[in-house]
């Protein structure tokens, strides 16, 4: 619900490829290629980019240059530079580098939380509280998002009760998060479930309801985004070329494909602020930095429909 609707867009598409996409691929993209990719995204009209994850380089070598990438990206005016932080230490590094929005993954699945960050979901709420306090001291203008991961199901735990998801989202807001979004981390969600959960989320936390973060693992990414939009969600995470993959579903694509998401909304008359031709052109620097890495996307493969003009 944090979309800036004051200018020439009805929704905010938040590009997460440089973070979510890259952390799922084996190859390491050289830092100058990341810069060129970010430049191309900005040139296409992307107004929010999750550029890095502040995790130890030994765990994710792809993110060893996180601070450098943030420092570069914030030179673009009018773009919100986001970083994922798994804990207080990562948050401090991200804030000192100049990140303008932080996202902290808080897993609704107990097993996923322990496996992913070796903390319970309740411990992570305390982490939200500590990060919010640090943010208030260091950089009060920075927004803090809690991304409720495995909100629609978990490969470890299986079913994740909806009550657990909504309670956790509300606890994060109470602990100081500006927004709680819902993430379909492993691509289990369906549109009916998405509508139900976002409706409950909005009823529970009002304007603190955050983004829809959908993965396309079972081909329902776009349908799930549309369902979220129908419930009033106006911020959507996606990645260029659907970069990434899920280690539990070999061959599956990663996030919702940005190009397809832009095409869907623009074709519906919902303005994204993103130029379709230019966003497809942004695949060139991405591929240059990750040679041989498969990129997904139905719109880039098929091309724009005859007679299609973007408003």
Selected range binding Zn ion among 12-20, 122-130, 158-166, 197-205, rule: CB under 5 A = 12-20
Minimum CB distance to Zn ion, residue 211 (Å) = 11
Residue 50 binds Zn ion, judged by CB under 5 A? no
Q: Which residue of the set 154, 172, 225, 246 is catalytic?
A: 246
Minimum CB distance to Zn ion, residue 91 (Å) = 19
Instruction: Select from 286, 273, 301, 281 the least CA-distant residue to 4.
Output: 273
Within the chain, how many helices (H) and strands (E) appear? 12, 8
Q: Is the torsion defined by CA of 23, 26, 30, 33 positive or negative?
A: negative
Sorted by sequence, the CB contacts under 8 Å of residue 1 that are 6+ apart come out as: 179, 202, 207, 208, 209, 210, 232, 233, 234, 235
Between the CA of residue 58 and those of 63, 137, 243, what are the distances in Å? 9, 29, 22
Minimum CB distance to Zn ion, residue 301 (Å) = 22
Beta-strand relationship, 80-84 and 48-53: parallel
100/149 with CB nearer Zn ion:
149
Question: Token pair of 151, please?
Answer: 């909100």
153: left (phi over 0), alpha (psi -120 to 50) or beta: left
Question: Token pair of 26, please?
Answer: 């084996």
Question: Token pair of 179, please?
Answer: 């927004």
Minimum CB distance to Zn ion, residue 23 (Å) = 9
Selected range binding Zn ion among 14-22, 45-53, 97-105, 296-304, rule: CB under 5 A = 14-22
Minimum CB distance to Zn ion, residue 157 (Å) = 17
Minimum CB distance to Zn ion, residue 183 (Å) = 6
20/266 with CB nearer Zn ion:
20
Q: At what angle do helices 221-230 and 258-268 cross, to 10 degrees?
A: 40
187/300 with CB nearer Zn ion:
187
20/259 with CB nearer Zn ion:
20
User: Active site includes 246?
Assistant: yes
Question: Nearest to Zn ion by Cβ — which residue?
Answer: 20
Selected range binding Zn ion among 19-27, 225-233, 265-273, 275-283, rule: CB under 5 A = 19-27
CB 299 within 8 A of CB 280: yes
Selected range binding Zn ion among 15-23, 130-138, 263-271, 284-292, rule: CB under 5 A = 15-23
Q: Which residue from 20, 65, 259, 260 is in contact with Zn ion, where contact means CB under 5 A?
A: 20
Total chain residues near Zn ion (CB under 5 A) = 1
20/145 with CB nearer Zn ion:
20
CB 150 within 8 A of CB 187: no
178/237 with CB nearer Zn ion:
237
DSSP string spanning 10-69?
A: SSEEEE-IIIIIGGGSSS---HHHHHHHHHHHHHTT--EEEEEE-S-TTT-GGGTTHHHH
Binding site for Zn ion (CB under 5 A): 20
Residues annotated catalytic, as ranges? 246
């Amino acid at each position: 619900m944090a979309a800036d609707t004051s200018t020439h867009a009805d929704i905010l598409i938040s590009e997460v490829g440089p973070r979510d996409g890259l952390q799922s691929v084996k190859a390491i993209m050289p830092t100058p290629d990341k810069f060129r990719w970010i430049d191309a995204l900005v040139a296409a009209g992307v107004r929010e980019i999750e550029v890095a994850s502040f995790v130890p380089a030994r765990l994710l070598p792809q993110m060893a240059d996180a601070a450098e990438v943030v420092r570069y990206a914030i030179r673009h005016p009018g773009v919100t530079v986001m970083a994922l932080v798994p804990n207080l230490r990562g948050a401090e590094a991200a804030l000192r580098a100049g990140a303008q929005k932080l996202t902290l993954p808080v897993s609704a699945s107990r097993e996923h939380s322990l496996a992913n960050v070796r903390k319970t979901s309740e411990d992570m709420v305390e982490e939200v509280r500590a990060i919010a306090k640090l943010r208030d001291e260091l950089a009060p203008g920075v927004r803090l998002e809690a991304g409720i991961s495995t909100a629609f199901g978990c490969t470890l735990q299986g079913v994740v009760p909806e009550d657990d998801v909504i309670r956790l989202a509300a606890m994060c807001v109470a602990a100081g998060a500006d927004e709680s979004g819902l993430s379909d981390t492993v691509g289990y969600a369906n549109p009916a479930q998405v509508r139900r959960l976002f409706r409950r989320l909005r009823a529970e936390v009002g304007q603190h309801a955050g983004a829809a973060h959908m993965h396309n693992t079972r081909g329902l990414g776009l349908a799930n985004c549309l369902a979220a939009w129908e419930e009033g969600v106006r911020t959507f995470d996606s990645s260029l070329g659907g970069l990434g993959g899920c280690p539990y579903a070999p061959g599956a694509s990663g996030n919702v494909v940005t190009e397809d998401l832009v095409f869907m909304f623009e074709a519906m008359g919902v303005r994204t602020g993103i130029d379709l031709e230019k966003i497809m052109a942004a695949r060139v620097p991405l591929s240059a930095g990750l040679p041989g890495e498969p990129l997904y996307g139905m719109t880039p493969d098929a091309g724009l429909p005859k007679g299609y003009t973007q408003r």
